[in-house]
Copies of this chain bind each other. A is one copy, B any other.
Amino acid sequence: MKIDIYAAQNSVQEKELKDRTVVVIDVFRATTTIITALHNGCREVIPVAGIEEAIAFSRNYDKNTFLLGGERNTHKIDGFDLSNSPLEYTRQTVDGRTILMTTTNGTKAVRKTHEAKVVLIAGFVNVDAIATYLYNLGEDVVFVCAGTDGKFSLEDILAVGALLSGLKNMGKEITLDDLGFVCVHMYEMYKNDIKEFLKETNHYRRLINEKLENDIDACLDINSIPVVPAYKDGVIRLNAKAH
């Protein structure tokens, strides 16, 4: 099983993902939020490119069947129902609804995969569920990390490491590039105290400055939401088959 990894969504071209099996990761916070929403009964999440597109798209839906969610610069967007905090996507709020979502990096990363064969949505919260799914699928995998402002984001790298480490522990032989080697290495070294290890990193500090430590804790709560969301035909849904 050959593993390719892109550390930031803007370093990958759509054509490089065509017909591939892709895992999208944006630990802080988009993919964690999407996983949480689906687990709490949200019907589907539709990643949209921009704020205007989200509002235009919402005109297709009856009132009370959808919610607008997302962020710019870590903050809720004016006129939107929800921000990008997983803690807002409770069952009470999202059950049965469609969520139209736009974030700075995460939803862009998902949209880049529209020509891929299989697209899974991962975070720390569903790491073992995704690893098991990939193990059974047995195909080469491309990881697309959202990154932050086009740059390497350590929390995503550690989540990739956790996934690859899981695959290795199941006995899967995996072929890594140098970045994959770093992911596994860093995760294995720090898996017992990921939060402490992330304290020096940029995205972590930005969230702390915004008083979002509870979001950080939710995003790092490993295997707390063992589901496999998949993106297909423009929509993310929970799907046991995921393709």
Interface size class of A (residues with CB under 8 A): 20 to 34
A153 near B182: Cβ-Cβ < 8 Å: no
B157 near A182: Cβ-Cβ < 8 Å: yes
A148 to B178 CA separation, bound complex (whole angstroms)? 10
In this complex, what residue of B is CB-closest to A176?
A: B200
Checking B148, B182, B186, B202 against A152 with a beta-carbon cut-off of 8 angstroms, the contacting residue is B182
Q: Is A177 an interface residue (CB 8 A)?
A: yes
A153 to B186 CA separation, bound complex (whole angstroms)? 16
B177 near A200: Cβ-Cβ < 8 Å: no
CB-defined contacts of A151 to chain B, threshold 8 Å: 177-179
CB-defined contacts of A202 to chain B, threshold 8 Å: 177-178
Q: Is A154 an interface residue (CB 8 A)?
A: yes
Q: Is A214 an interface residue (CB 8 A)?
A: no
Q: Is A223 an interface residue (CB 8 A)?
A: no
> Which residues of A (173-221) have their CB < 8 Å from a CB of B?
177-179, 181-182, 185-186, 189, 200-203
CB-defined contacts of A65 to chain B, threshold 8 Å: none
Q: Is A7 an interface residue (CB 8 A)?
A: yes
A177 to B7 CA separation, bound complex (whole angstroms)? 13
CB-defined contacts of A152 to chain B, threshold 8 Å: 7, 177-179, 182
In this complex, what residue of B is CB-closest to A200?
A: B181
> Which residues of A (67-121) have their CB < 8 Å from a CB of B?
none
Q: List 22 A-B contacts (CB under 8 A).
A: A7-B7, A7-B179, A151-B177, A151-B178, A151-B179, A152-B179, A152-B182, A153-B178, A154-B178, A154-B181, A154-B182, A157-B178, A157-B182, A177-B202, A178-B201, A178-B202, A178-B203, A181-B200, A181-B201, A182-B182, A182-B186, A189-B189
Instruction: List 13 other contacts, CB 8 Å, given A7-B7, A7-B179, A154-B182.
Output: A7-B152, A11-B11, A151-B177, A151-B178, A151-B179, A152-B178, A152-B182, A153-B178, A154-B178, A157-B178, A157-B182, A177-B202, A182-B182
